[in-house]
């Protein structure tokens, strides 16, 4: 401690304080792909690796978001003409994929004038 403070009556009181509480506003709820502001890339990489490990390596991520409270990602995949909804739990690696819409080509699109 600095010399002038060592004889101060505040020293014993300061030594008994075990924690400081700072009055800070709570952070806003974290949603979307940028939800984990410190680690957005690792979550996306882990998600893509989980998709590959479960046989969805050729799928395209259309949209996804991260729920930091539940520790899971949820969104939409496109794979071989099928739009699929997925839910991936980061903690245990569980991936649930459900086909939602099958797109097939019957005829080429034509521009109507």
* pLDDT tens track for 22-79: 555 665 665 554 444 445 678 889 999 999 999 998 899 888 888 888 889 999 999 8
Which has the minimum average pLDDT: 17-21, 26-30, 63-67, 93-97?
17-21
How far apart, in whole angstroms, are the C-alpha atoms of residue 90 and residue 73? 8
Cα-to-chain-centroid distance, residue 108? 39
pLDDT level of residue 107 (50, 70, 90 thresholds): low
Asked whether residue 64 is assigned to any structural domain, the reply reads yes
Asked whether residue 8 is assigned to any structural domain, the reply reads no
Backbone angles phi, psi at 64, to 5 degrees: -155, 155
Q: CA–CA distance from 70 to each of 45, 50, 55 (Å)?
A: 18, 17, 24
User: Averaged over 79-98, what is the pLDDT?
Assistant: 92
- Our count of domains for the chain comes to 1
Domain that holds residue 45: 32-104
Asked whether residue 54 is assigned to any structural domain, the reply reads yes
Choose between 12 and 86: higher pLDDT: 86
How far apart, in whole angstroms, are the C-alpha atoms of residue 1 and residue 45? 48
0.75 exceeded by pTM: no
């Amino acid at each position: 401690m600095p010399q002038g403070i060592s004889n101060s009556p505040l020293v014993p009181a300061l030594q008994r304080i075990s924690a400081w509480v700072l009055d800070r506003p709570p952070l806003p709820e974290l949603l979307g792909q940028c939800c984990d502001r410190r680690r957005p890339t690792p979550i996306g990489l882990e998600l893509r690796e989980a998709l590959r490990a479960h046989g969805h390596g050729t799928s395209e991520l259309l949209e996804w978001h991260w729920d930091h409270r539940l520790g899971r990602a949820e969104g939409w995949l496109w794979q071989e003409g099928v739009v699929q909804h997925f839910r991936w739990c980061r903690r245990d690696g569980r991936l649930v994929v459900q086909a939602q819409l099958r797109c097939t080509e019957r005829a080429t699109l034509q521009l109507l004038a």
